[in-house]
Structures are given as C-alpha cells and as structure tokens.
Structure 1
Amino acid sequence: MLAQILAVSIFCVMFVMIILEIFERQWITLVCGALTLLLVFGLGMHSWEAVMETLNVKNIFTVGFWYAKEAEESSSGINWATIIFIAGMMIMVEGMARVGFFRWLCMLLAKAVKYKVIPIFVTFMLMSSVLAMFIDSITVILFLAAVTVELSQLLKFNPVPMILSEVFCANLGGSATMCGDPPNIIIGTSFGYSFADFVCNTGLIAGISLIFTVIYFFFVYKKEFKNVESVDTSTFPTPESAILDKKGFGISCGIFGLAVVLLVTHAQTHLSVATIGLGIAIITLATAPKYIGEIMSKVDYKTVLFFLGLFMVVGGLEQTGILEIVAGFIGKISGGNVYLMIAIIIWVSALASAFVDNIPFAATMIPVIQSLAASQGVALTTMTWALSMGTDIGGSATPIGASANVVGTSVAAKAGHPVSWGSYCKTAVPATVIVMIISTLVIFVRYL
C-alpha cells in the first residue's frame, strides 16, 4: 500500500509540475524518476529486482533488441528502443537542417504554385502532414513556420492562420506512421508493431481525416487570404539559394531516403527501430565528419532525458499494480461493452492530451490497455489504434497539447503575431472534434 501511495503521489506531482512549467520538463521527470527508484522501490517495496526491471538495461544487450525475427513486446521500464530511435532520427534531421533541406523544400513548393497565397496555404498543409509522417512534427513545424513567416513578409499576408493549419496537419500526419509522433514510437516499440502496421491502420484514419481537415481549414481561413494583393516575385530568393552545402544536400537526401526504406521494410528485414535509428545516426555523422560537433550540439537532449525520467515514473505505477487497477476501473465503467470501452479510451485520451503532454499519457496508458485486453477479451490492436489516434489528435486542440503547437505559436509570436488561447482554440477544437468523430466511426466499423 505504501509503495502504491508513493508511486501515485510522485506521478501526480510530476504531471502537475509539467503543466505548470515551473522547471524544465526533463529535470521534473528525472527527479521524479529518481524518487521512484528510491522511495517506491526502495522504501516501499524493498525490491532491487523492481529497480533492475525498470532500468531495463540488460534488454539492450540481447540480440532481440537489435534484430527481432518475431514481433516482441518490450519488457516494462525504460523503453530504450524508443530513446535510441528518437535520438538517431534527431541526428539525421539536424544533418538535413544543416544543409538547408527544409527551407529549400518550402521555397520550391511556393515557387511551384507561383507564390499564390491560397495554393501555398493548401500545399503547406499537405507538406506538413507528409513530412510529419517521417520526421518529428516539432522539427517540421520549426522550419515550416519560419518559412511561412518569411513568405508572409514577402507576400504581405497574416501568417497565423497558415501556421495554425500547418500545426494541426503535422499532428495529424504524425499519427499515420510509427515514427511520426512520439506516442506512436512508444506504442510501436512496446507492442512490436511495424511501420506498415501503423500505415494500414492509423494511416488510413489519418488519410481520410486529412481530406476533411484541409477542406475545413480552407473554408475557415479563405477570407483571410482572398484579398491579398499581388506582388512582384521576380526578386524573391530562389529555392537553390537555400542550399548551404550541395554535396551535403545530396548525401542528406540519400540518408533520408534510406531511413524511409528501412522503416517501411523493417518487418521484412527484422531490424528493430533501435538498430535503424542508431545506424542512420552513425551514417549521418560519418558522412559529415567536419560538422559532427555542430550537429551533436543541436540535438534535443532535453527530450531524450525527459523520456528517461518518464519511463521510470511509469515503471513505478506498473510495478505497484496501479495501472492494473486503472484498467479494472475502465472495464467496470464500460460494463463489458466493447464500444463504450473503445470510446472511453479514444475520447479520454484526446481530452487528457489536450491539456497535458501526450507523451507521458501514452506511456501510462500502454500497460492499462494491455491489462484491459487480457481481462476484457478485447483485441489489443483495436485499443492500440484508439489510444494512438486519441493521444496524437487530442493534443491539437489547445496551444499546450503537443510540442508542435508550442513551437508553432512561439515562432508566430517572435515574428510579431502572438496567438491567444481563444484564437487558437476557436479553429483547432472543432477540427479536433471532426477528426475524433471520424476516428471513432472508422474504428467502430472496421474493428468491432
């Protein structure tokens, strides 16, 4: 009982502090993770075994961690596959950013539609969604929003509607694949799902939702862009001017293509995502030896540390049986009704992710849906896709729901266009509800 009280207390304090943003979130999770090891496992459980299972270091030194012939669920505790994969992809993305890949792509598409604002608006939404399928949505929005601001200054339009639409589409695109959003990476590595598994399931839902999303934002914001006056585009910077290193640009494109191929085929090659992430990172650094220091200095270590602490805290809930109790509670409320159970998972996930970071929520819910699948007889895959869509899309509803939202609104604010909660939620909440309804209906029709 003492261990359970301590585990829940530490978890609640962590969540509150993350929301309040009193300290940087990586220090919050690391300190709470250390307290979990000392108080929950030490004082409450007197179990060295629980500590070792949560740290989960021995898993890294198994063959199955790097090369798995069969899909395996990871053991409890720190999900090292997620951490290694995310770190590896961060290194690849920084290598691409160094040579100007993202700015080149944005300028190329803008020129292709002859710098017409409404075509740029639609094109950038689609590009945001597609890029976020393979690259972290934070990075996508960081560069896309910056270029949007630049274009808005050249073409004389308000960049906020375009940035908000890009943010939403990035979160939607990230839900389509295993590597698009951090919650999906955690889910995929925890349950042994492949890139193709996500594309065939959440990818279908995201694809249908994207059509309605683009139409929705087009009609909501078309008045904003309709009266933009034409300007002389002859002096605009060319896409080629964005390329800072031609040789490096070609190499970076090749590495990105290789990463996509490896992710798409990893179910056939049996290479784990940890192997792919580490391999891509090594290739990126090996092909740019002069810039290793520059690339490594820009990697987001704070997010990696955030994950480490988070997994330890969730491990405390798992080891003390709290998550099984939560699963039992959901099962009791639903009364064994599968439809109600799935609806609870997807809508509660969406509501929670709108106000708290969707990464810790997803990590917390994974053992919960495992217990539900075992006790209620509902297919684990069905609950997995419900959790994935709920956490990925729910975070789009508010400015703090997902990291991409924070980045996008910050870029706009720095450019002199602050975004209030009211103006953000006015368009984002209805869009979120539309996608959640589509997701619920597709899951009901396809899986139940």
Structure 2
Amino acid sequence: MSATIAIAIFIISYIFIISERVNQALVALSGGVLLLLTGVYKWNDAFTNYIDWNTVALLFAMMVLVSITKKTGLFEYIAITFAQKVKGKPVPLLIGTAILTAIGSALLDNVTTVLLFVPIILTLTKLLQLPSFPYLLTIIFSSNIGGTATLIGDPPNIMIGQAVEHLTFLSFITNLGPIVLIIFIVMLTIVVWLFRGKLTNNQQFSDQLMKMEGSIYLKKTPMLYQSVTVLSLTITGFLLHPIVHIELTTVAVCGAILLLLLTEKEISTEKIFQEVEWVTLFFFIGLFMLVGGLQEVGAIDELAKGIMWLTQGDLPYTALLILWTSGIFSQIINNIPFVAAMIPVINEFQSYGMANLDPLWWSLALGACLGGNGTLIGASANVVVAGLAEAEDERISFSLFLIYGIPLVLISLLISSIYVYLRYLLPFQQML
C-alpha cells in the first residue's frame, strides 16, 4: 500500500511541476508533506536519510558568496570585458559562454559554475538586448556535459569516485574526457544552428558596448577585494579537494561565513540572507523528499535490480542497459538518488563473477550526468539556473526546455553507446 501511495504522490506532483500552474517548490514540498501524512516515512527519516543537506548547504553558501560579490560590480565588469573581447557578436558570445561554462564545470562543479556565470550572462543579454533563453539553455547543457569529465564536476561522479577507490581524478579525465569533448562539440553545433535566426547582431547596442568602460562598474571598496579573495580561496579549496580531502560543502560554507564576517560593516547579513534564492533551496528539499518516498518503499531499488535481472550478468548488455536506463530515469527523478541506488547494485556484480566493473561505472556516470540535460529537474545545475533566471524575470518554461533537452539526451546517449562499446566492450568480447 505504501508503495502505491508513494508512487502516486510522486507522479501527481511531477504532473503539477510540469504544468507550471503552481509554484514548483510549493508542489514539491506539498508532495513531501503528503508522504509524511500518509505514513510512507517519518520526518526523522526524511530529515536524516533523504534530504541531501550537503547539496542544500553548498547551494546556500555559494548563493551567499555570489550575492555579496555581485554588489561589488565584479560581474558587470567581467561581463562587459568578455563581451568586448567578442565585439558583442551574439554567436561568438554563445560559443564563449559554452566553453567557459564547460571548463568551469569540469574544474569546479557544475552547480558552483552556474551560480557564478548566470548573473554575468543575464547582465550581458540585457545589455545587448538579446534573448536570454539560448544562453541559459547553453549554460545548462554545457555545465552538465563539462561536469561529466571529472570526478568533482557533477555530484554523481563524486558519489562514484567515493564508492570506488581506484577511480581517481585522472581516471575520470582519461576515460570520460574524450567522449565529453565529442558530445560538447555536437551540442554546441546543434544549439548554434537552432538559434542562429534569433542571435542577430544589433550594431547600435554593440557600438554602445564597445564604448563602455567596464572598470566604472567596479566599486573599489574593501568589499571588492575581500570578495575576490574569499571567492578565489573557495575555488582553490574546490580544486584541492582530491588532495586535502575537505568536503566541498565545508569549503563553501567556510568561505560564505568568512565573507559575511569581513563585509558585515558594508552590508548587513540580514540583507544578504534576504537575497538568497530560498525558493530554489526549498524546491530541492521537496524534490529530495519526493524521491525519498520512492527510495523508502524500494521502488528505485527494484528498478535497479530489475535491470540486473534482465542482463543475466552479460557485461556488454549490462553496461549499455545501465547507460540508457540511468540516462532516461535521471531526467525524471534527479540523478543523485538514482546513482545512490545503483552503486550497491553494481558492486553486487562482483559476487556474480564479473571481475572488471569499470565499464559499468563509466556507463553509470555518462548516463546519469548526461541524462540530467533532459528536464529542468534532471540535475541540480538545471534547478539552480531556472531559479536564478526566474529571480531576474527570465523564466524558463519546463515544457519548452523538454523540447530541446530530450533530443540532446538521446543524441548524447547514442554517441556514448558507440564510445562505450568501442572502447570497453569490443576489447572485452575479443578476449573471450
């Protein structure tokens, strides 16, 4: 009975989220509360087991850092300088946005990258009178694709790296880097082709841009130097994560608190907290509660076990099925809990005599990370971008995103299937 209730609440909530008639955070939280009222799980279980407070805290900390830094005019300065480098031309601006987002997502993590980059792009699109949707869409796609390349780029990769000791930072780059580069080029080509008609250059705004002095936007007060220093230290902490083994959330929270303490005289903490995207944070909490209901009744575990039962231990079939299943379901239930359910199941294959599990891990990473591009709730970065855009009255439609997201996921999974087969499965079959 509990399983039926949990699945029904999830499906109904998801329908309301897609319809966008009610605030998405309110829908997700309402679904979570219904799970509590119907006894699917208790609040203590939701609080301790299902709500990923690390993700929530990381988002909150980065929102604080970005909010303070934004008041120094740094983002406007970077935006104007970047736009002037490409002479305000829309297509080069889109390509540059994609490249910077992908690199940032690989070296940091995709959530942090979009938190830093979206304010810059929204500033630029308003300045040049360009539609923001193509750029925001490109940021989401690039962040998820770029984040796939490294251990710290996307939460699913972090979880896989923590579960499998021999998969190092370098392992992720050498195994996933080549295919990520191919998919990124394909994605960028498609996006530029689709939006070429809307990305027209307005010479008047471009000329105005080239005459602007970006430095006049910088407020050269102590807060500017404090913000840049603390933000740089935080990013350095992210990069040193594989060496110092301090959690990314810890680094981000320490950076946020330090910057709040340093800038308290210039801007009050209360004002900064008022500017945090609380709706986005509560949407994450509600989403984790909804998926937690599926975990509590064993729905996700049964799905994972069903995949393994279908493959009967055949490595090529298992790898490709994991790739496609994780890619498809990560669009619906968010890739973090799905990967959490799949990790112990893949480990079980060792008991079936399967010695080399690496192709399965790479298939899971590719499917979960790339599948996140399918919907606005498929990955954490998507939700964050949507929240930041809505705060600036640049709302991204859930249904419109699906039109572009799902085809890209299918293309990405097809390319990944060819890559996985040629690099891992074909050599394995030749050894038999």
**Structure 1 length-normalised TM:** 0.73
The residue number in structure 2 matching 1:63 is none
Shift of the alpha carbon at 1:330?
A: 1.6
The residue number in structure 2 matching 1:27 is 26
| Contact 2:156–2:339 (8 Å) recurs in 1 | no
The residue number in structure 1 matching 2:226 is 251
The residue number in structure 2 matching 1:214 is 188
Q: Is 1:147 aligned with 2:132? A: no
Shift of the alpha carbon at 1:294?
A: 2.3
The residue number in structure 2 matching 1:73 is none
Change (3 A) 1:414 1:162: closer
The residue number in structure 2 matching 1:67 is none
The residue number in structure 2 matching 1:115 is 88
**Residues 19-98 of structure 1 correspond to what in structure 2 (within 5 A)?**
19-40=18-39, 52-56=44-48, 76-98=49-71
Shift of the alpha carbon at 1:352?
A: 4.4
User: What is the DSSP-based 3-state SS (H/G/I as helix, E as strand, rest coil) of the residue aligned with 1:232?
Assistant: helix
| Contact 2:375–2:398 (8 Å) recurs in 1 | no
The residue number in structure 2 matching 1:232 is 207
Which letter maps to 1:282? I
The residue number in structure 1 matching 2:241 is 266
Q: Is 1:18 aligned with 2:17? A: yes
The residue number in structure 2 matching 1:393 is 370
Selected match of 1:105 from 44, 61, 78:
78
Selected match of 1:326 from 300, 303, 307:
303
Shift of the alpha carbon at 1:91?
A: 1.6
Shift of the alpha carbon at 1:295?
A: 1.8
Shift of the alpha carbon at 1:254?
A: 2.0
The residue number in structure 1 matching 2:429 is none
Selected match of 1:299 from 266, 276, 279:
276
Which letter maps to 1:146? L
The residue number in structure 2 matching 1:340 is 317
Change (3 A) 1:410 1:31: closer
| Contact 2:89–2:201 (8 Å) recurs in 1 | no
Selected match of 2:291 from 296, 310, 314:
314
Counterpart CA distance in 1 for 2:390 and 2:40 is 40
Which letter maps to 1:139? L
Output the aligned Cα RMSD: 4.1
User: What is the DSSP-based 3-state SS (H/G/I as helix, E as strand, rest coil) of the residue aligned with 2:128?
Assistant: helix
| Contact 2:118–2:136 (8 Å) recurs in 1 | no
What CA deviation, in whole Å up to 9, does each residue of 1:9-55 have, x standing for no partner?
Answer: 3333333333333433333333333443443357xxxxxxx764543
Which letter maps to 1:86? L
Change (3 A) 1:405 1:41: closer
Which letter maps to 1:303? T
Shift of the alpha carbon at 1:89?
A: 2.0
Counterpart CA distance in 2 for 1:105 and 1:31 is 40
Change (3 A) 1:276 1:327: same
Counterpart CA distance in 2 for 1:180 and 1:39 is 37
Q: Which runs of 5+ in 2 are unaligned?
A: 426-432
Counterpart CA distance in 2 for 1:15 and 1:79 is 19
**Structure 2 length-normalised TM:** 0.76
Counterpart CA distance in 1 for 2:316 and 2:244 is 36
Change (3 A) 1:194 1:20: farther
Change (3 A) 1:17 1:163: closer
Change (3 A) 1:240 1:176: farther
Change (3 A) 1:201 1:94: farther
Task: Give the percent of matched residue pairs that are identical in Structure 1 and Structure 2.
Answer: 24
| Contact 1:351–1:394 (8 Å) recurs in 2 | yes
| Contact 2:114–2:139 (8 Å) recurs in 1 | no
The residue number in structure 2 matching 1:172 is 145
Which letter maps to 2:414? I
Shift of the alpha carbon at 1:261?
A: 1.9
Shift of the alpha carbon at 1:286?
A: 1.4
Counterpart CA distance in 2 for 1:238 and 1:265 is 35
Task: Using the TM superposition, name which of 32-41 and 274-283 deviates more.
Answer: 32-41
